[in-house]
Amino acid sequence: MNVEIIGNWAGLVWVALNEKGKVGVKGLKKATKLKEKEVYAAIGWLAREGKVNVEEEETDVMVSLV
């Protein structure tokens, strides 16, 4: 796995969040067809860029655009 691939995953997650608003990791997996570890890598990328809010809830991690 390289930086370019993670950047592409981040793009897929950003598009899903832009379309759906606040989404859990489970919803992002379904919307993007990515594996869980790929979704978390993409969330980390977007978080580092300051583009997402991440909130831990009882059953899922919820993510939304800033």
As a CATH number, domain 3-65 is 1.10.10.10
pLDDT in tens, 4-24: 999 999 999 999 999 999 999
The mean of the pLDDT values for the chain is 96
In sequence order, the β-bridge partners of residue 33 are none
Q: State the pLDDT at residue 4.
A: 96
Q: State the pLDDT at residue 1.
A: 76
Q: Which residues of 29-60 are buried (b: 16+ CB within 10 A; e: fewer)?
A: bebbebeeebbbbbbebbeeeeebeeeeeeee
Q: Domains of the chain: which residue ranges? A: 3-65
For residues 27 and 33, what is the distance between their CA atoms, to the nearest angstrom? 10
Pairing of strands 23-24, 61-65: antiparallel
CB 31 within 8 Å of CB 20: yes
What's the pLDDT band for 25 if we cut at 50, 70, 90?
very high
